[in-house]
């Protein structure tokens, strides 16, 4: 890998204009904001980046912009997963040509491949590039779980299959990845409320959507843990919890975008049919941001 995958990684939002076109200037502004607040890596075209709402060409453009503007200041790990192996290979090859440090590949979704089909899917992607490839387990969204046995089997056959982001919310599953795979394998916590727990068990970092809004707080959990100050890390983890729980106030992925807009970041709207929070839900989000010191 050009840069090590570790620390706090942000699934960067894709900012849109009012007409739902990509706001490229805003994306550069957000990248600068995140890097200035100490994040270790950027994860464009992930779930929070609305990859499901982007065309293939738009995904390529977003990853190009983030890689170019990051300019080596942090590592960039685009999400290159797709329903078909063919499209995922295309996106992964593009990421490699663009200078990505690694890629993260979510399982196919809508369809339900068998464990062997999943294994061959990842092996073909890994064989198509020399780039580091990490899997992305998010069964709540895809309904396709990545078992520890499957992950371990892929890691045995593909030297550039180096890690997994686990968004299952099941710490036992995360622990099983760590135990089943080689010591050099990198497991990233994908549930914001479990960053501290994951680090304690052996995760090398976390991919945290809330870091779009409060990167300093999320990085602070990691920094305190690295310094051995577990009390402070846990305090910061608990402070973050209300924002993550606020995801239930609206349809994914609008809560993070609305929170960013409220604190003055140009996240723009989500693509239709998802709409911004209104009424009581919006008031609750404002109160949470006030509690975090992000609004007066």
Is the distance from CB of 70 to CB of 62 less than 8 angstroms? no
Minimal CA–CA distance to 205: which of 188, 224, 220?
188
- Strand runs labelled E in the chain: 7-10, 41-42, 75-76, 102-106, 132-137, 161-166, 186-189, 205-207
Is the distance from CB of 215 to CB of 38 less than 8 angstroms? yes
How many whole angstroms separate alpha carbon 143 and alpha carbon 83? 12
Residue 165 annotated to the active site = yes
User: Sign of dihedral through CA atoms 227, 231, 236, 237?
Assistant: positive
The C-alpha angle with vertex 212 and arms to 211 and 216, in degrees rounded to 5, equals: 45
Residue 59 annotated to the active site = no
Catalytic residue among 165, 177, 196, 257: 165
Helix (H, G, I), strand (E, B) or coil at 17: coil
The C-alpha angle with vertex 287 and arms to 281 and 291, in degrees rounded to 5, equals: 145
Catalytic residue among 119, 122, 136, 177: 136
Residues that are catalytic: 136, 165
């Amino acid at each position: 890998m050009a840069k090590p995958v570790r620390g706090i990684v942000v699934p960067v939002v894709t900012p849109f204009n009012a007409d739902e076109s990509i706001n490229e200037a805003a994306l550069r502004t957000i990248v600068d904001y995140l890097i200035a607040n100490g994040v270790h890596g950027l994860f464009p075209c992930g779930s929070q980046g609305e990859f499901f709402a982007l065309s293939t060409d738009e995904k390529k453009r977003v990853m190009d912009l983030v890689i170019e503007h990051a300019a080596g200041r942090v590592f960039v790990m685009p999400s290159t997963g797709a329903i078909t192996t063919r499209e995922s290979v295309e996106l992964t090859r593009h990421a490699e040509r663009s200078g990505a440090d690694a890629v993260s590949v979510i399982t196919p979704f809508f369809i339900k491949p068998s464990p062997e089909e999943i294994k061959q899917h990842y092996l073909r992607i890994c064989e198509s590039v020399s780039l580091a490839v990490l899997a992305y387990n998010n069964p709540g969204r895809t309904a396709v779980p990545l078992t520890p046995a499957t992950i371990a089997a892929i890691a045995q056959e593909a030297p550039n299959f180096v890690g997994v982001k686990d968004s299952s919310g099941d710490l036992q599953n995360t622990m099983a990845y760590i135990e089943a795979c080689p010591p050099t394998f990198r497991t990233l916590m994908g549930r914001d409320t479990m960053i501290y727990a994951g680090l304690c068990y052996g995760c090398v970092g976390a991919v945290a959507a809330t870091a779009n809004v409060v990167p300093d707080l999320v990085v602070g959990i990691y920094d305190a843990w690295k310094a051995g100050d577990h009390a402070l890390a846990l305090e910061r983890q608990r402070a973050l919890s209300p924002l993550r729980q606020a995801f239930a106030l609206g349809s994914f992925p609008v809560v993070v975008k609305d929170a960013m807009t409220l604190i003055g970041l140009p996240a723009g709207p989500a693509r239709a049919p998802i709409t911004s929070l209104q009424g009581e839900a919006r008031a609750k989000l404002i109160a949470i941001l006030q509690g975090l010191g992000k609004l007066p």
